[in-house]
Amino acid sequence: MDDVIIARSLFGTTMAFHIIFATLGVGIPIMILLAELLYQKTKDYDYAVMAKRWTKGLAVLLGVAIPSGTIAGVQLSLLWPGFMEVIGKVMSLPFQIEIYAFFIEALFMSIYVYAADRISPLMRIVSVFFVALGASASAILITNVHAFEGTPAGFRIENGEIVDVDPWAAFFNPSFFVTAGHVVLSAYMTGAFVLASIAACQLLRAAQNEQVRRFHQKALKLSLTVGGVFSLLTAINGHESAQLLHQYQPEKLAAAEGLFETQSHAPLAIGGFTDAKTQSVKWAIEIPWALSFLAGNRFDTVVKGLNDFPKEWWPPLFVHTLFNAMVGIGVLLLFLSAAALIWQKWRKRPAFPRWLLYSFVAAGPLAVIGIECGWIFACTGRQPWVIYRMMKTEEAVTQTGNLAVLFALFVSIYILLSIAVVLVLRYYFRRHPVADELRKPPNEGTLPV
């Protein structure tokens, strides 16, 4: 039993680490692609420098994304051999297709970085496009496995045997499109807001020449626009995700909302802590009828409560907080982008006031926190199942001991890599200030990276 907890903590830590770099690896290529396109359209050299610097940062981040992803992939087999046995028989297609996506991303990332000065602008755009495509496709495919865990399809387990296998039915399981869409949209949003944070940070620093300020202003505007668009799409799609829970994993939605009694006109509880003893959410703000409406678009939708399920099937109740944090951040960032838009359009001011810049600085870290909360909610909220109503987590876990030592080892590696990656990024961008790169004559034609 103890080993199950350590295995879960170890795998969760690995994923929580990987997802930071993976999300940026999905989000930033889109921004680079947009900067490249803007450069070709406007011939404004600032955008070429932007693409170049973002690419440099991305290359460093991928230096951690790829090995941590390799850890994630192999650890899945090492820690959850029982789970992978089912996945291998039923749901291996997405893993397999993901390999092709990895290849596309890796090949074109090298081409874009190391051959930039030898290929035509068109081929350069094609290369970033493939990098972005490969990253998004790999996110979609791996998320499909996660979707399958929540809404399994395409097989049955009969007397411990896997029967009636249909790999394509498993691939197109009921929550595939919505879940994959949510992950990709939130990754684009997060990539954009992280870059917005950096630009806002730079604008807050005193004493800079006009050229550098204009550069950061352009970067901020571009990333806030992209972030705003995708936070709207994320929220709309998140609503659909919640409706899927209502349909396919009702006890997860009940735990997310701290709802104990099945009812129509169910209230939405915001904030507070779920208390199993009093069967209520303490200190929450309740919006009457809202949950029913969110779950089924009608106030009389009947939402199932936790009491309808055996207690050993209940997800941990703290997922309510994680869910609230994710949704709260989504709404906050939506307002923030709207504020930026309004400020620019209606006040007709070229620059943002400092207080607004400070809140933009917070946007990137908040988005990353949103990603973390969303994932931990989704995976922890599935407990005790590793495959919903099919396989329990404790049936899937490895039988080998020694997990505590390994846990300590992996955590130290993640700490080491986190420190190193921050130092390397700081070092590089201190050594290569924007001012130097902007000063270079734009007549070199192509940009050396």
Partner 1 sequence: MTNELIAITVLWGFIFIYAVMATMDFGAGFWSMIYIHRDKANATKIANRYLSPTWEVTNVFIVAIVVALFSFFPGAAFLLGTVLLVPGSIILILLAVRSAFLVFAHVAKEYEKALTYISGITGIIIPALLISVLPITHGEFIDIRKGVPTLDLERFFTSPHAYSFMGFAILSTLFLSSLLLADYSLEAGDGEAYRLYRRNAWITGPLSLLMTGGMMLTMRYEAKWLYDKMMEYWPWLIGSVAMFAAAGIALSLPSSRHPHVRGRPRLAVIAIVIQYFLASYAYGKAHLPYMVYPDVTIESAFTHPDTFRALFASYIVGFLILFPGFVYFWRLFMHDKRYVRPK
Q: Which residues bind ligand HEM (CB under 6 A)?
A: 8, 11-12, 15-16, 18-19, 22-23, 25-26, 62, 65-66, 69-70, 72-73, 76, 80, 83, 102, 105-106, 135, 138-139, 142-143, 145-146, 183, 187, 375-376, 379-380, 382-383, 386, 393
Residue number with CB closer to ligand HEM (138 or 175): 138
Chain-centroid distance, C-alpha 76: 19
Told to check if 97 binds partner 1 by CB under 8 A, we report yes
Q: How many C-beta atoms surround the C-beta of residue 160 within 10 A?
A: 5
Told to check if 103 binds partner 1 by CB under 8 A, we report yes
Rounded to whole angstroms, the Cα distance separating 101 from 140 reads: 10
Told to check if 446 binds partner 1 by CB under 8 A, we report no
Residue number with CB closer to ligand HEM (143 or 337): 143
What burial class does residue 385 get, using C-beta atoms within 10 Å of its C-beta: 0-12 exposed, 13-18 middle, 19+ buried? buried
Judged by CB under 6 A, which of 76, 235, 291, 295 binds ligand HDD? 235
Told to check if 338 binds ligand HDD by CB under 6 A, we report no
The type of residue at 114 is: Y
Told to check if 104 binds partner 1 by CB under 8 A, we report yes
Whether 8 and 382 have beta carbons less than 8 Å apart is answered as: no
Map tokens 């109740």 to a residue: 317
Tell me the backbone φ, ψ of residue 285, rounded to 5 degrees: -90, 125
Judged by CB under 6 A, which of 139, 183, 203, 291 binds ligand HDD? 183
Residue number with CB closer to partner 1 (290 or 421): 421
438 binds, among ligand HDD, partner 1, ligand HEM, none (CB under 5 to 8 A by kind): none
**Binding segment (CB under 6 A) for ligand HDD, from list 204-212, 261-269, 273-281, 321-329:** 321-329
Judged by CB under 6 A, which of 329, 340, 387, 434 binds ligand HDD? 329
Q: State both tokens at 139.
A: 């996110």
Q: Report the nearest approach of ligand HEM to the CB of residue 176 (Å).
A: 12
SS3 breakdown of the chain: % helix, strand, coil, rounded to 5? 75, 5, 20
Whether 249 and 150 have beta carbons less than 8 Å apart is answered as: yes
Q: How many C-beta atoms surround the C-beta of residue 415 within 10 A?
A: 11
Q: Where on the phi/psi map is residue 402: left (φ > 0), alpha (ψ -120 to 50), or beta?
A: left
Tell me the backbone φ, ψ of residue 446, rounded to 5 degrees: -110, 165
CA distances from 9 to 3, 83, 141, 220, 351 (A): 10, 17, 24, 37, 45
Residue number with CB closer to partner 1 (125 or 259): 125
Q: Report the nearest approach of partner 1 to the CB of residue 77 (Å).
A: 5
Told to check if 243 binds partner 1 by CB under 8 A, we report no
Residue number with CB closer to ligand HDD (142 or 281): 142
| Three-state secondary structure call for residue 66 | helix
Chain-centroid distance, C-alpha 292: 27
Told to check if 375 binds ligand HDD by CB under 6 A, we report yes
What burial class does residue 392 get, using C-beta atoms within 10 Å of its C-beta: 0-12 exposed, 13-18 middle, 19+ buried? middle
| Three-state secondary structure call for residue 449 | coil
**Binding segment (CB under 8 A) for partner 1, from list 81-89, 177-185, 187-195, 226-234:** 81-89
Told to check if 189 binds ligand HDD by CB under 6 A, we report yes
**Binding segment (CB under 8 A) for partner 1, from list 182-190, 282-290, 346-354, 405-413:** 405-413
Told to check if 9 binds partner 1 by CB under 8 A, we report no
Judged by CB under 8 A, which of 37, 162, 232, 390 binds partner 1? 162
Rounded to whole angstroms, the Cα distance separating 231 from 385 reads: 30
Longest dimension (CA), the chain: 73
Judged by CB under 6 A, which of 15, 61, 303, 371 binds ligand HDD? 371
Residue number with CB closer to partner 1 (341 or 405): 405
Map tokens 């230096």 to a residue: 63
Judged by CB under 6 A, which of 69, 152, 191, 238 binds ligand HDD? 238
Residue number with CB closer to ligand HDD (152 or 330): 330
Q: State both tokens at 370.
A: 């949103």
Judged by CB under 8 A, the number of residues near partner 1 is 72
The type of residue at 199 is: A
Told to check if 179 binds ligand HDD by CB under 6 A, we report yes
Where along the sequence are the contacts to ligand HDD (CB under 6 A)?
Answer: 143, 150, 179, 182-183, 186, 189-190, 234-235, 238-239, 241-242, 245, 326-327, 329-331, 367, 370-371, 374-375, 378, 381
